[in-house]
Amino acid sequence: MQAAGEVVAIIQEARQQRLEMFRQVASERIGRLNLAWIDFETKGVAPDGFLRESHTLKGEASLTGFVEVSRLVHLVEGFVKLVRDQHGRPDQHAGDLVLRGLDLVSELVQSQPGARSSETEALATEVQARLSQAETGANAIPDLPAAAAPPTASNRAGPARREASVRIASEKIDRLRGVVSDMLLSHVRCRQLVRELHQVRETAADAQEAFRLFEDEHRAHKCGSLVESLAGIESRLREEAYGLSRVVAELDNATRELRMTPLWTLLERFPVPLRTLARSLARQVRLDTEGEQVEVDKALLEMLEEPLLHLLRNAVDHGIEDAETRKRLGKPAEATVRVAATVVGQRLHLRVSDDGAGIDPATVRRRAVEMNLLGAAEADSAQDAQIIRTIFATGFTTRRQVTELSGRGIGLNVVLDVVEGLGGTVDVQSRVGQGTTFDIYVPITVAISRVVLFRVGMGTYGLPATSVRALVEARSVETVESFDGPAIRYNDLLLPLLDLGKALDETRGTGADTRIIVAQSGADLVALRGSSEHLEREVVLKPMVKFFERQPLVTSAVTLEDGTLAVVLKATELVLLARSQQAKARAATADPSALGGAGRLALVVDDSPIVRDIIAEALRCYGLQVLVANDGEEAMAVLAAEPGVDIVLTDMDMPRLDGLGLLRAIRSRGKGNDIPVVAISMRGNESDRKLALEAGVQAYIDKSDFTQALLWRTVSPFVVRP
C-alpha cells in the first residue's frame, strides 16, 4: 500500500495539473472574449459568442475555486447584455470598461484560487454607476455572492462540449523535436560511415589487384574475401541509413502535425493592443483578418508574434492618418489594417497591409544619408524600391525624437531579423498616399531547415539556404577595386565583396578561396569570400545561447556529426556590414570640395549601364554632378537641353552615334564646341588612341587600366577651379 504522504503528493499533483489546465483554457477563452468584444464594438457583430464564452468561463472558474474570477466575469457579462439591449452598438468608453475587466480577469486567473483584488470592487462600482444611468432597473445586474457555491448541473447552460482532441503540453512536443534532431544527426553520421566504409572497401580492392600483379594468390584471395565482406556490410549499412532516413521523415511529419495550430490563435492577440494604440493616437483603425484557419507550426507562431506586432504598431503609428486628414484626402475616416494568410507549397505567406499615407522614398532617402546608412551619391542613384528597404536597417527611424512608441530604430529590423532567421523573406511595397504592404514568406514548420554550411578559418558556419543566391567559382568572376572598396561583377551587377575571415575574426587556417557566396537579403546582394568546403544540408536549428546574444551576425546554431556547433549567420547583417565597409571606403576618399570638383557638371556617355554607373559614381565621389547618356545621339540631346556641361566622358564603340561621331558633332557646334572630352575605351592600342587624339579628345583612358585614381588624375585638370 502507498504511504499517506505519497497519496497526498499524488492528489496535490493532480490538483496542480487541473489548475494549469484551467489557466491554459481560461487564457484561450479570454483571448476569444477580447476578439468578440472588438468585433461587437467595431463591426457591430452581435455579442452572442461573447456571452456564450463568458458563461462557460464563469462556470469553469467557479468549479476550479476561482470565485473572484467567476464573480468578475458575471459582472462583465451582465454589463455586455445591458449594452446590447439598450444601445445596440457600444461606444469606446464602454469598450474601455469591458476590456479593463477582461485584463483583470486575466490577472486573477494567474493567481491562486480564492485570491481577491481591490480592483474588482473599483470596477464593480464603475459598472454600477453606468447601470444607474439606465432608464429603468430592469437590466440591473444581480449581485453574485462572493462565496457562492459552484453551479450545479441544473442551473448551468448544459454539459460542456467534448472536443475530439487531446491537449498536449508544448514542452512534451519540444522533447519530441529534440529526439527528431538527435535522429537526424544519427542519420548524417550513418551516411558518413557508409562513405568511409566504401573508401575502405576501395582500398582493399586496390590491395587485391596489387597482390594479383605480384602473383601472390593467397593474399589476393584473402583480400577478395575481405572486399566481399565489406561490400555486404556496406550494403546493409546503406539500407539501414535509408530506413533511418524514412523513420526520421515520418517522425518529423508526425511531430510537425502535433505542433500545427490554427493561425487565429496568434491573430486573436492583436485587436486589443491595436485598439489601445489607435485610441492613444486619436485614430480610427479597423483590423481585418483572412486565413485564420491556416495551420502552421506552433513554434513558428510564437516566433512571428513580435514581428507581426511590430508591423501592426508601425502601420498605426507611422502609416495611418488621423480621421480629419483622411476625410480631407477623400478617404474613409476609419482606416483598415489587414492581415491575410495563405499557404503556398510548404511556405506560409503573410501579407500585412494598410490604406494609410504610405512610405515617402524622399524622406527615407534623406534620413538614410543623415544617419550615415547610405552615402549621398549612393542614395541619389538608388531606385525607390532599394531606398525603401533601408527601413529594415538597424537603428533606422524617420522619427527625430524618441517616443514611447517609436524613434529607436528597432521594430522593422526585428521583423527582418526574425523572418530571415526562420529561413524566410520580407518584401515591402508602398505608394505615397495609398498605403503600404509587407509580404512575409516563411516555412510552415521550423522543425527541419535547409542551410548551406562552410568553413571559414578554423570554424564552421552556415547561412539559410533561402539566403544563398549562388555559389560561384572565384576564378570565373572579375574582382575590381571600386571607389566603394572591393567588389565583383556578377550578372551585370557590381556587388560589394566582404571578407568573411576578417568579418568573423577567423584569420587563422583560411583555405584557398575557391568559391564566392552570393548572399541575399531582400533585393540586396553581397559577395562573401574566404569560405570553403560548402555543403547544403537539412538540419534542426537551435536557438543561440546567451553567449551569442550580443553577436548581431549570429542567428542560430547547428549540431554537426562530430558534436561541434556550426554558427548560422544573418544575411541581413552581412549586407549591412558590407555597406559599412563601403561607407568607410568612401570616407577614405579626399574631401570633394577640397579637390575643386564641387559644382561642376559632367556627362558620361556609354552604352553599358554598368560602366556608366561606375564612372558616374566615381565622379560624384569627387563632388561633380553627373548626367548620363546611352549613346552619341542621346548625348547630343542632353547637351542641347543642358548647356552647362563642363566635361564629357565617352566610350568609343556605341550604337547609332559612336565616340568619334559624338566628338565631331560637339566640335561642329557653334557655342560650347570647346567642351573637354575624355575618351574611355576598351581599344587601348596606339593607333586607336592616336585617332581619338587627332579627332580632338583631350585625354584617353584604356578601360583595362581604369581605376578611380587614374580617372581623377585625368579629369581634374579640366574641372578643378583655379
DSSP state, residue 319: I
What type of residue sits at position 397?
T
- pLDDT of 482 over the 80 cut: no
What type of residue sits at position 430?
S
Model confidence at 67, pLDDT cuts 50, 70, 90, reads confident
- pLDDT of 138 over the 50 cut: no
- In the structure grid, which three cell numbers stand for residue 120, read together? 474588482
- Determine contact, residues 371/413, Cβ cutoff 8 Å: no
**Model pLDDT for residues 72-108, shown as the tens digit of each residue:** 888 888 888 888 877 666 777 787 888 888 888 888 8
Integer Cα distance of 653 and 90 in angstroms: 74
Integer Cα distance of 610 and 331 in angstroms: 43
Integer Cα distance of 527 and 578 in angstroms: 9
Any residues with CB less than 8 A from the CB of 289 and at least 6 apart, and which?
264, 267, 338, 339, 340, 341
What per-residue string of b and e applies to 536-545 under the rule 16 or more CB within 10 Å gives b?
A: ebebbbeebe
Query: What does residue 585 show for φ and ψ, rounded to 5 degrees?
Result: -65, -40
- pLDDT of 484 over the 70 cut: no
Any residues with CB less than 8 A from the CB of 270 and at least 6 apart, and which?
287, 308, 309, 312, 339
Q: How far is CA 324 from CA 48, 198, 314, 321, 333, in A?
A: 34, 76, 20, 8, 7
User: How confident is the model over 351-362, as a mean pLDDT?
Assistant: 90
Integer Cα distance of 252 and 256 in angstroms: 6
Task: Among 193-202, 310-319, 507-516, name the one with the lowest average pLDDT.
Answer: 507-516
Bridge partners (DSSP) of residue 498 are: 528
User: How confident is the model over 597-603, as a mean pLDDT?
Assistant: 78
- Give the other-Cβ count within 10 Å of 357's Cβ: 22
- Determine contact, residues 490/527, Cβ cutoff 8 Å: yes
pLDDT at 193: 83
Integer Cα distance of 560 and 558 in angstroms: 6
Integer Cα distance of 534 and 452 in angstroms: 7
pLDDT at 722: 58
Picking from 497, 490, 445, the residue whose alpha carbon sits closest to that of residue 470 is 490
Task: Among 37-46, 278-287, 630-639, name the one with the lowest average pLDDT.
Answer: 37-46
- Going along 113-235, which residue ranges are E strands? none
pLDDT at 424: 80
Is residue 300 classed as helix, strand or coil in its secondary structure?
helix
- pLDDT of 513 over the 50 cut: yes
User: How confident is the model over 55-74, as a mean pLDDT?
Assistant: 78
Sign of CA dihedral 626, 628, 634, 635: positive
pLDDT at 1: 47
Any residues with CB less than 8 A from the CB of 499 and at least 6 apart, and which?
529, 530
pLDDT at 436: 92
pLDDT at 586: 60
pLDDT at 119: 78
Model confidence at 684, pLDDT cuts 50, 70, 90, reads low
What type of residue sits at position 255?
T
Model confidence at 587, pLDDT cuts 50, 70, 90, reads low
- pLDDT of 10 over the 60 cut: yes
Secondary structure string (H, E, C) spanning 366-389: HHHHHCCCCCHHHHHHCCHHHHHH
Residue 530 zone, left/alpha/beta (φ > 0; ψ -120 to 50; rest): left
Integer Cα distance of 273 and 270 in angstroms: 6
Model confidence at 437, pLDDT cuts 50, 70, 90, reads very high
Provide the Cα torsion 391, 396, 401, 405; round to 10°.
60
Name the burial class of residue 118, with classes exposed (0-12), middle (13-18) and buried (19+) by CB atoms within 10 angstroms of its CB: exposed
Is residue 316 classed as helix, strand or coil in its secondary structure?
helix
Model confidence at 152, pLDDT cuts 50, 70, 90, reads very low
Write out the H or E segment, with its range, that includes residue 536: strand 524-539
Model confidence at 377, pLDDT cuts 50, 70, 90, reads low
Model confidence at 117, pLDDT cuts 50, 70, 90, reads confident
pLDDT at 154: 32
- Determine contact, residues 282/370, Cβ cutoff 8 Å: no
- Determine contact, residues 384/542, Cβ cutoff 8 Å: no
Model confidence at 446, pLDDT cuts 50, 70, 90, reads low
Task: Among 546-550, 628-632, 657-661, name the one with the lowest average pLDDT.
Answer: 546-550
Any residues with CB less than 8 A from the CB of 463 and at least 6 apart, and which?
451, 452, 517, 519, 568, 569, 571
Integer Cα distance of 554 and 557 in angstroms: 8
> What whole-number percentage of the chain has pLDDT above 90?
5
Integer Cα distance of 426 and 411 in angstroms: 14
pLDDT at 543: 58
- In the structure grid, which three cell numbers stand for residue 264, read together? 487565429
DSSP string covering 228-249: HHHHHHHHHHHHHHHHHHHHHH
Model confidence at 464, pLDDT cuts 50, 70, 90, reads confident
Highest mean pLDDT of the ranges 135-139, 251-255, 378-382, 628-632: 628-632
- In the structure grid, which three cell numbers stand for residue 388, read together? 525603401
Model confidence at 351, pLDDT cuts 50, 70, 90, reads very high
What type of residue sits at position 257?
E
pLDDT at 603: 92
- pLDDT of 157 over the 60 cut: no
- pLDDT of 480 over the 70 cut: yes
Integer Cα distance of 626 and 622 in angstroms: 11
Picking from 452, 421, 420, the residue whose alpha carbon sits closest to that of residue 532 is 452
Highest mean pLDDT of the ranges 29-38, 156-165, 406-415: 29-38
- Give the other-Cβ count within 10 Å of 649's Cβ: 26
Highest mean pLDDT of the ranges 54-63, 413-422, 485-494, 646-655: 646-655
Query: What does residue 459 show for φ and ψ, rounded to 5 degrees?
Result: -110, 165
- Give the other-Cβ count within 10 Å of 199's Cβ: 10
Model confidence at 131, pLDDT cuts 50, 70, 90, reads low
pLDDT at 164: 43
pLDDT at 159: 34
Q: Average per-residue pLDDT in the chain?
A: 77
pLDDT at 413: 74
Integer Cα distance of 25 and 33 in angstroms: 12
Round to the nearest angstrom and report the end-to-end CA distance of the chain.
107
